[in-house]
Structure 1
Amino acid sequence: MRACDVEVMVTGGTGFIGRWLLAELTRTKAVAAPVRRARQRAAELAAFVDAHGGDSRRLLVVEGDVEAASLGLSERFEQVRDVYHLAARFAFGLGVQEARRCNVEGSLHAAEWALGRPHLRRFVYLGGYRMMHAGARSSAESALTQRARDRLYRQHGAYEGSKHESFLAVRRFAAERGLRWTAVHPSSVIGDSRTGETTQLTGVGEMVEQLWRGRLPALVGSERTFLPLVTVDYLARFLASVPERPATAEQDLCVLDQATPRLPALVRGIAAHLRRSPPAWVLPLGLVRLLPEALTGVTRESLSFVAEDAYDTSAADAHARAVGLVMPPIHASVERWCDYLVATRFRATPGNAPGRSARS
């Protein structure tokens, strides 16, 4: 396939969500995925796409990097209509500059490149559901002061702070430059609803591993703590459908399954399914913040996800109804995901390190 045939560009195509999105999109569209070390990684990525219902004949894997101007691309891809920006560094313990270089500057590189496509229909930005509770929408078109940026990173850590800053930067860029955008904000993403397959362990997957190995004596939060989930195959179908409807332009779409049980009930259900003992205690968040990480085994960055908040999914739900998308049953999906994690000894499938989304 040639660059002049490509209709869709996807950054982060080697990551967890990106892989499923490539498989979904290549059912009907010609797609390019800029990645580092493209020659070494193209065959494995094509094999994944074919194995998951896509068509690798419609996939062009090219050398590229979001940390470079113009995404490091040598071709112009003049016929691209939709640009999906999924690339990010996803891990706890990142350095601030490392996180900003990919997650903030890389997002602006992707937005600038998208704006230069003469036939652009939509720039689809992948955010996160916690952004909907950080005042992001109300201040999205205002520049961050250095003091506000420092506070953001102190409060959330490098990964989450950089994602918040990235969202603000992209929204401001879009407002100033006239970029037609949609932001999709998923919750914690688990494996395929049909098979449980995943390539990511960071977050909830690590908690399941601790439970399986008998190393989860307590949870953090309360009986009302809500850690919503969404399956990767549903999210991929949702993302693929977004540019098809003009009504989704300039919208923030929060994608999560409202039927996800509250965290203690979710973990008790997983424990019963895996035939393990559930945690005996639920420790208050304030107490855990005061204790050393070495004692609790909980990274401070992960505590920003421990909340009782509700999330407005009405816009995303309306879009799903309009295109005929139905979320798979969450309980069965969680069980299949847990079974997959156990069967694979909590290792990601080959081709992507556990717990990191692709930077490509």
Structure 2
Amino acid sequence: MSTILLTGPTGFIGKEVLKQLLQTDHTIMVLIRTEEKYIRLQHELQLTHHNVQPIIGDLTLPEFGLSECDKQLVLKSDSIIHTAGPMDITIDKDTAKQVFLDAANQLMNLCEEIIKQKPFAHFLHVVGYKSPFNEQNIDLTSDPYSLSSRFPEEGPYEQMKFAADLLIRQRARALNIPLSVINPSTVIGDRRTGENEQLSALGLFIHLIRNDLVKAIPSQQGEWLPLVSKSDLAQLIVKLVNQPHPISETYYLLAEKESTPDIEQLFLQMFHELRKDTPQLKVSVSQLRQDWPSQASSVGFPKETLSFIISDDRPRTSVQKVYEEPLTVESILPHIIADVDYRLSHHTPIPTTVIRGRRGNLATLEASHRGTGSPIILLHGLWGGADSWLPLIDQLSTTHPIIAPDLPGFGRSPYHHQSSPIAGTITAVVEMIQNINEPVTLIGHSLGSIIATHANQHIPDSIQQLIHIHPQLDIEEEQTVNFSTLPHEEEHLAEFLVSTGFFSQATDIPVPFLAHLVADLHSPRIRHTTRDMLHELQYQKERFPLQLPPSSKVTIVSNVPTEKLNTPAHLYLPFSNSAPITHPQETANLITDIMTSKLPL
């Protein structure tokens, strides 16, 4: 097994590489700027592996600013995986030179020192699909520090990445080091969950669309923005580092062009998933390139972005020799777009007690500590998403696995685009439960109760217990609500929430919850979905009655006195309709008592 030095372990690519390296027997040293960053990384990845060693250093400092002790550890490396570098195409020339070219030079100086003491097995360098260099065209006499003049059409970001690529190739050849250069296309999020922490690249387009800054759709037949998931990139890197006899080779990693939308289709899909009206205007990519100053305002993005849109493909033979999995992004794009849309509104990291996941087509929050009982699924109400259950998850996860999905169009889940918001949501929840392959306890709050009731009608054998928390019960004439506009200022939104009966008074609304909801409603996707749900609940509620047939597996928890209800088992919870949010401890205790049959019903 190898002793690997990994640069950029907290970055979008490096972190995914580290996650997958943890499944191997390699010894891993991670070059990281501070001990505090390493502690955060430990919590995030739940690092308990004895084979991970932090090396406190900075690629931009002379000799990385290493202590003598850490330098001696680094000199034991026999492989280096270099993933470090910002993903910001707008950085200036001096910064780009420092983080790409100077850092590459220092890494090769390190390799030279290692070789004086022991054999060196493999250098792996992540560059990008636009780099013009390969094993056949390296000019050993070219000065990388003077290379930028050869690529005047590129910005400093790409110029310095090219220069770093050339420098490492030159020095690796001089040192006779096997060098794998991995040239991915634009990297997007996790292939399974859609998690996409990187908010540049595709995130830039989504930000512009959210803010009505894209007035025309870029369009031209054959022009595309090549994409690849970080999961595929990390898997390829691990396969390469596991090779017993590595060779020097360039690996272009792009999803298949045939299964990737062209640039017009990509923008149309982003508008569709964000639930925004599509501009009628189109502008050709060639026109943008030829007449950028007059066309820039129509698309909103910086000029440097244009060079990432290409018409040709890249050779794939080298990748196909070592990586057999199909490279596609089509099915994950709706999840990527929804995830980025959510992150543009919410910047607070989730607690380390939960992890992000995906079940069926729904994004989930799941307790990182899995209990041993049957799974509990928590369906949120109209206001908020899976995040609204966070205070309860810790309380319930000691005995049961907890799964809190974002319903379609909320949180990080893409919208289902069916004609009925509620019917499409019911279908998505049913499919999610069927994928779990064991009976579950289904807990619905408010709107979630309606979804839970109808899911139970579809798959009763898959739901062993059904708990409704403050279901929407027709015991009084409901007040008509004006939902045509949803306020997103805190004061007006608080008034709106009281008018809908979700809270008794504005002072009952927790400040963090209100701030979270305001941020939610800045997403056109969530705002549109919330408005559609309100409309259907108010004007077509007869299509989705909250049917509560007598059943030993159904329990209702509400603030309606028992004598006013003719329902199955009922427990009185003397709080507003938002009890899981305002009184999570009491709600969790009641759920636990119901599930352990401690309460007489």
Query: Shorter chain as normaliser: what TM range?
Result: 0.7 to 0.9
The answer (yes or no) to whether the contact 1:115–1:179 under 8 Å persists in 2 is: no
Find the counterpart in structure 1 of residue 140 from structure 2. Answer: 142
Cα displacement (A) at 1:286: 4.2
Deviates more, 1:188-197 or 1:264-273: 264-273
Cα distance in 1 for residues equivalent to 2:30 and 2:336: 27
Cα distance in 1 for residues equivalent to 2:37 and 2:76: 24
Find the counterpart in structure 2 of residue 197 from structure 1. Answer: 195
Amino acid of the structure 1 residue aligned with 2:156: A
Where does 1:69-218 land on structure 2 (aligned, <5 Å)? 69-74=62-67, 75=70, 76-77=72-73, 78-117=75-114, 118-131=118-131, 134=132, 138-144=136-142, 149-152=147-150, 154-218=152-216
Cα distance in 2 for residues equivalent to 1:294 and 1:281: 14
Cα distance in 2 for residues equivalent to 1:146 and 1:349: 40
Distance 1:201-1:128 versus aligned 2 partners, 3 A rule: same
Find the counterpart in structure 2 of residue 358 from structure 1. Answer: none
Cα distance in 2 for residues equivalent to 1:219 and 1:58: 49
Find the counterpart in structure 2 of residue 300 from structure 1. Answer: 303
Find the counterpart in structure 2 of residue 357 from structure 1. Answer: none
**TM-score, length-scaled by structure 1:** 0.84
Matched residue of 1:330: which SS? Answer: coil
Tell me, which stretches of 5 or more residues in structure 2 are unaligned? Answer: 351-601
Cα distance in 1 for residues equivalent to 2:302 and 2:135: 27
Distance 1:62-1:6 versus aligned 2 partners, 3 A rule: farther
RMSD of aligned residue pairs (Cα, Å): 2.7
Q: 2:4 aligns with which of 2, 8, 19?
A: 8
Cα distance in 2 for residues equivalent to 1:216 and 1:248: 46
Cα distance in 2 for residues equivalent to 1:135 and 1:8: 25
* 1:52-81 Cα deviation digits (max 9, x unpaired): xx6554322221112234433332224422
Which structure's CA Rg is the greater one?
Answer: 2
Distance 1:213-1:344 versus aligned 2 partners, 3 A rule: same
Matched residue of 2:323: which SS? Answer: helix
Tell me, which stretches of 5 or more residues in structure 1 are unaligned? Answer: 352-360
The answer (yes or no) to whether the contact 1:33–1:61 under 8 Å persists in 2 is: yes
Distance 1:275-1:8 versus aligned 2 partners, 3 A rule: same
Cα displacement (A) at 1:350: 4.6
Cα distance in 1 for residues equivalent to 2:55 and 2:240: 24
Cα displacement (A) at 1:246: 4.7
Matched residue of 1:129: which SS? Answer: coil
Cα distance in 2 for residues equivalent to 1:152 and 1:346: 40
Cα displacement (A) at 1:316: 0.7
Aligned residue pair count: 337
Q: Relative CO higher for 1 or 2, CA cutoff 8 Å, sep ≥ 6?
A: 1
Distance 1:302-1:182 versus aligned 2 partners, 3 A rule: same
Cα displacement (A) at 1:135: 5.4
Cα distance in 2 for residues equivalent to 1:147 and 1:194: 40
Deviates more, 1:286-295 or 1:154-163: 286-295
Cα distance in 1 for residues equivalent to 2:185 and 2:98: 23
The answer (yes or no) to whether the contact 1:46–1:59 under 8 Å persists in 2 is: no
Cα distance in 2 for residues equivalent to 1:163 and 1:147: 11
Cα distance in 2 for residues equivalent to 1:73 and 1:236: 27
Please tell me whether residue 17 in structure 1 is matched to residue 18 in structure 2.
no
Cα displacement (A) at 1:344: 2.6
Cα distance in 2 for residues equivalent to 1:314 and 1:349: 42
The answer (yes or no) to whether the contact 2:183–2:253 under 8 Å persists in 1 is: yes
The answer (yes or no) to whether the contact 2:121–2:177 under 8 Å persists in 1 is: no
Cα distance in 1 for residues equivalent to 2:319 and 2:134: 18
Cα distance in 2 for residues equivalent to 1:311 and 1:317: 12
* 1:252-277 Cα deviation digits (max 9, x unpaired): 00111112221212222333333333
Cα displacement (A) at 1:332: 2.0
**TM-score, length-scaled by structure 2:** 0.52
The answer (yes or no) to whether the contact 2:96–2:157 under 8 Å persists in 1 is: yes
Amino acid of the structure 1 residue aligned with 2:205: M
Find the counterpart in structure 2 of residue 43 from structure 1. Answer: 39
Identity, in percent, stands at: 20
Cα distance in 2 for residues equivalent to 1:285 and 1:271: 18
Matched residue of 1:156: which SS? Answer: coil
The answer (yes or no) to whether the contact 2:79–2:122 under 8 Å persists in 1 is: yes
Cα distance in 1 for residues equivalent to 2:150 and 2:50: 43
Cα distance in 2 for residues equivalent to 1:207 and 1:225: 16
* 1:317-354 Cα deviation digits (max 9, x unpaired): 22102xxx444x52221111112122333566759xxx
Where does 1:274-353 land on structure 2 (aligned, <5 Å)? 274-289=274-289, 290-292=291-293, 295-296=297-298, 297-321=300-324, 325-327=325-327, 329-345=328-344, 350=349
Matched residue of 2:53: which SS? Answer: strand
Cα distance in 2 for residues equivalent to 1:306 and 1:332: 21
Cα distance in 2 for residues equivalent to 1:244 and 1:291: 46
Cα distance in 1 for residues equivalent to 2:281 and 2:136: 37
Matched residue of 1:272: which SS? Answer: helix
Distance 1:347-1:232 versus aligned 2 partners, 3 A rule: farther
Distance 1:241-1:225 versus aligned 2 partners, 3 A rule: same
Distance 1:216-1:235 versus aligned 2 partners, 3 A rule: same
Cα displacement (A) at 1:285: 3.4
Cα distance in 2 for residues equivalent to 1:124 and 1:16: 17
